[in-house]
Amino acid sequence: MSFLAALMRPGAASGAWPDDPGINVPICTAQGTQEHPRIASDGASGAIIVWQDISSSSPDIYAQRVDARGEVRWTKDGIAICLEKGDQWHPDLVYDGAGGAIIAWWDKRSGYGEMDIYAQRINGDGDVLWQPGGAPICIAPSFQQELNIIADGEGGAIIAWQDHRAESYIPHIYAQRVNANGESLWGHDGVLIAGQVGYQEYPNLVTDGAGGAIIAWQDWRDGKGDVYVQRVNSNGQPLWHEHGVPVCMMPERQWHPKITPDGKSGAIIVWMDHRNDEESDIITQADYRSRAGWDIYAQHVDAQGNIQWQMNGIPICLALGDQYNHSVIGDGAGGAFITWHDQRGGDWDIYAQKLDALGNVKWTKDGLPVCAEPGDQYNPNMVSDGDGGVIITWWDKRDIYGDIYAQRIDADGNFLWAQSGAAICIAEGNQQDPQPVNSGVGSAIITWWDMRRVDADIYAQRVFSE
């Protein structure tokens, strides 16, 4: 019993997880290039990881499970999810609620000029559950891409994507719900979410807590990038304004919205915003760094689609230079945590902010500096730490090559790990694109693609509360 208790302690590094950040756990080291890893929980403090794999002549989709102890559970170098002809790219996945995952990806099996969306379900033992090669989510003409996927709460998933099927090839937003058996529930090739004049791009969606979804996107119906949002019910029927609710329609550009649920069938939307920067000729690097650049803004929409905070959003960061590549998650109390990479200091650094349910910023004005080490820090992603705070991970070039670092921050903005971040991977070569998932209170499993050998591989590491 004492031994079992020791294993259950949040800070106990046991099993195959190494203590040395130069080693880590190999998920796939097959010949060729493995990249674009994405991660979801396995429901038992471990993780399921999916990636695009170029071990053959064209990219395929593979997956692997690593348990809470760091033991790889499936076939060495992963289970083949899709080996169809043509390219399979950019997979993403969600936990299926039963120890497995639903995986979706872009698929070019139909040939030149076509890109479709397919999905597959895999159980906790690595058995593929749907038809070989995946279930077709959308095989409409032309390109379907930039997908985003969430669980539907009933063993299935809701998937949204950017779709070029219109005669003009202008992209619109579509969505589909697929049940636990791989059957599409919202008609053939999905339902139209946004199809106005101009481009609708980069959908991002979250559950509405009632079997449906709230979907945000970047919208060009007015000739520039605005942010719109729509809620659909479990049958795929829009619940708000027919053409979407405008979240921000300021002059200049608002791009790449990210969204998190508010816990009450509404959502908080965060985007990068160019309203404060006039277009001008930039001659020197000093000119570039002294300009207003891209900023970060946010808005809250309630369950009925009503805007809750000031019109066109509240500022999260208005510091000089550019702020973007943002990530957002809910704080469990109607507010949100937001992180981004930031050029106010010359190099790229990592900053974060907390919002309460009323839209008040709770940490330092313009954001808390999470990591401002020499060199560049890029592309932060985060998960809840399970105790009211967050774990943020990023790609870090303080030592010239890209490494992986992480920081845990409590609800009051206090750093709980080393001041400049905990080293997750400092192996030789570049490590990039870290993706985390919670694995217990104060713990996360982080995966990334890794160039410590000749070509890119997939590695993972669990970081504990201590």
pTM confidence score: 0.94
Q: pLDDT per residue over 340-360, tens digit each?
A: 999 999 999 999 999 999 999
- The arithmetic mean of pLDDT across residues 156-166, rounded, is 97
Contact 136, 113 (CB under 8 A): no
- Please say if the pLDDT value at position 14 is more than 50: no
Predicted pLDDT of residue 12: 37
* pLDDT tens digits, 299-333: 999 999 999 999 999 999 999 999 999 999 999 99
Please give the mean pLDDT across all residues of the chain.
Answer: 93
Q: Is the pLDDT of residue 9 over 60?
A: no
Residue 275, pLDDT above cutoff 90:
yes
Domain ranges for the chain: 33-195
Determine the CATH number of domain 33-195.
Answer: 2.115.10.20
**Which amino acid, residue 382?**
M
Confidence of residue 233 (pLDDT cuts 50, 70, 90): very high
